[in-house]
Chain A
């Protein structure tokens, strides 16, 4: 806390025009803009200072804002999240980086029993504007505990908001919205897609309100025969599957969930009523998962429109395997297409 912020040349706080950049840079620029806009925004995490984080998301921020706002913390996830709760009580807006998905569990109690419940426990007198960024998911060939998809634990927990972008534009603007939220947000970043480029739209005149709600589900690709639903990196797999299916004569609509708590049911149910067939896919194990909830709710709300049961494609209910097996474990376009075929055959 003794590092002074060095002088930096003035730069615009918001992008003046649309810029193409990878998801990693879109996240970094969102953090920079949020920190420039509000001095109460702090970053906390392991190796996020001069190193810029193991994925370099916070690159340059320590140099711009100094060690009092970019806190390279001791190596203790419960400590990071627990002290962030105290900082939020003091009026700060901490944005935490968890180094890898599998490392969030030492902080699990602080998330589910403390952070999530703090506002309710106080009868609304205390707000918890804390964002926990978690690089999640597979396809990076890593050692164990580095490729997991823990979203169901958090989506199951009342008091948390859970979102997961799939594009650079969403990575940028949803992170800005998450930081602006007065509720705790679990922000799941598809780390396998960190270097996928996309256009980040310029700030609309209406500001964060003008970029669309953080919890909206959107149609990523329109179609008429089958609805494919997913979030994060899985959206890219679904788009690939839709492309292949189209060549084979089946029109797939791809919906990017974007938000896992709350889930924006209206576009999902509307699409299911139109197509009558739904496949929901995720990297996480399937048992008691986000996909389960999607399947159950669509069955409940679109029952008379369905031509087939909602089918689920997921990681297997086994620990994430050694890297050589991850391509078998993780759903790919072929497994999605197999489900599409089964849905069409009903």
Chain B
């Protein structure tokens, strides 16, 4: 069954784009205010953004290798989505809280989670790689799709109740960003998040990376209508942005977040592409064409920002240096992963409850006794 073509405003909507695929600025009357926002990023900032994208890409590739060599149980690549993520996280202010799904590696790294902590999740050492109270507002990954759309909304409702938003001062007012994808948008929790966010005027922006594929199911199966248009129906301000354009992602997110912190929740659909597999357990050759993949490879966000930086006069040697640095960082990860400690059996029991629970206490004791019965040879 082939779905009919989407009609109405949907087909007419063009993503906000400030850099074209060749890295040239897209100037127009409509783009002028967005360029003005993007101008908050200096050339040094843009170079740093490029460096973060490169590091994440190298990290991603190295982690994929580690999985293939049996060192990780699973890997979730973010290749192709670095542009959307780098713009979004640079637009977030220091006081903001970010709720990721599980593919937001660049965002986690930017806020202070380490590569090793992300790796810990996928080598099976712990569920949450990091303590969110130590990573500048970066919450932990959420694997049941779209559940965190509600946690983030509730957190934003709490900000509002605390009086920490809506004072008119963007430099201190807090806001929240929730990240999920086109597949997640079909979940009831995603819609309920929009309902609650709108009803309580919560300071939140939903940043939706439409990467075209929910494992093997195309985004056209998730929605016959553009996702950002759907959000408008819930009463949120919404925008469609070229997710492979880091500058546009930054400008749109900055504006939406600053509106959210004054009580107008927003929704950003970032038009991007998952260049790799869903996870290392996936095989995209079964459901999509190499022509499609190739067409998106030509829109690689890293190449696009690099081209822009060259246009801005950044020397080739500087870009090459970033590349070397990223490669070295990633290869050191291999050594660290092989040396990393394994989990211990106490981890099963120690944080099931905050206060002691007799059943858990008893089972921990029983396991210790059982292990001890082997005389240290278990």
Q: Please give the distance in Å from B151's CB to the nearest CB on chain A.
A: 4
Docked Cα-Cα span, A56 to B156, in Å, equals 29
Q: Which of B151, B193, B199 has the largest count of A CB atoms less than 10 A from its CB?
A: B151
Question: Is B192 in contact with A82, judged by CB distance below 8 angstroms?
Answer: yes
Is B189's CB within 8 Å of the partner chain A? yes
Is A325's CB within 8 Å of the partner chain B? no
User: Which chain A positions have C-beta within 8 A of B158?
Assistant: 86-87, 89-92
Chain A 73-107 near chain B by CB (<8 Å), digits 1 or 0: 11010110111111111111000000000000010
Q: Please give the distance in Å from A151's CB to the nearest CB on chain B.
A: 16
Question: Is B359 in contact with A82, judged by CB distance below 8 angstroms?
Answer: no
Interface SS of chain B: helix
User: Which chain A positions have C-beta within 8 A of B195?
Assistant: 74, 76, 79
Q: Which of B60-68, B125-133, B322-330 contacts A (4 or more CB under 8 A)?
A: B125-133
Q: Please give the distance in Å from A196's CB to the nearest CB on chain B.
A: 30
Question: Is B151 in contact with A82, judged by CB distance below 8 angstroms?
Answer: yes
Q: Please give the distance in Å from B185's CB to the nearest CB on chain A.
A: 15
> Which one of A42, A86, A124, A263 contacts B150 once the chains associate, using CB atoms below 8 Å?
A86
Question: Is B354 in contact with A182, judged by CB distance below 8 angstroms?
Answer: yes
Is B39's CB within 8 Å of the partner chain A? no
Q: Please give the distance in Å from B89's CB to the nearest CB on chain A.
A: 20
User: Which chain B positions have C-beta within 8 A of A109?
Assistant: 144, 147, 189
Q: Which of B161, B188, B200 has the largest count of A CB atoms less than 10 A from its CB?
A: B161
Q: How many residues of A contact B (CB 8 A)?
A: 45
User: Which chain A positions have C-beta within 8 A of B352?
Assistant: 119-120, 158-159
The A108-142 residues at the B interface (CB cut-off 8 A) are 109-110, 113-114, 119-128
> Which one of A86, A126, A262 contacts B156 once the chains associate, using CB atoms below 8 Å?
A86
Is A236's CB within 8 Å of the partner chain B? no
Is A1's CB within 8 Å of the partner chain B? yes
Closest residue of chain B to A123 (Cβ to Cβ) is B351
User: Which chain A positions have C-beta within 8 A of B357?
Assistant: 161, 183, 262
Q: Please give the distance in Å from B229's CB to the nearest CB on chain A.
A: 21
Q: Please give the distance in Å from A258's CB to the nearest CB on chain B.
A: 14
Docked Cα-Cα span, A181 to B140, in Å, equals 24
Q: Please give the distance in Å from B104's CB to the nearest CB on chain A.
A: 17
Docked Cα-Cα span, A108 to B196, in Å, equals 18
Closest residue of chain B to A92 (Cβ to Cβ) is B158
Supposing A82-B153, A86-B154, A262-B359 touch, asked if A114 and B147 sit within 8 A by C-beta, the answer is yes
Tell me the A residues contacting B by CB distance below 8 Å: 1, 42, 68, 73-74, 76, 78-79, 81-92, 106, 109-110, 113-114, 119-128, 158-159, 161, 181-183, 215, 261-263
Tell me the B residues contacting A by CB distance below 8 Å: 126-128, 131-133, 139-140, 144, 147, 149-162, 188-189, 192-193, 195-196, 199-201, 347, 350-355, 357-360
- CB<8 Å pairs between A and B, sample of 5: A78-B150, A79-B193, A119-B354, A122-B351, A123-B126
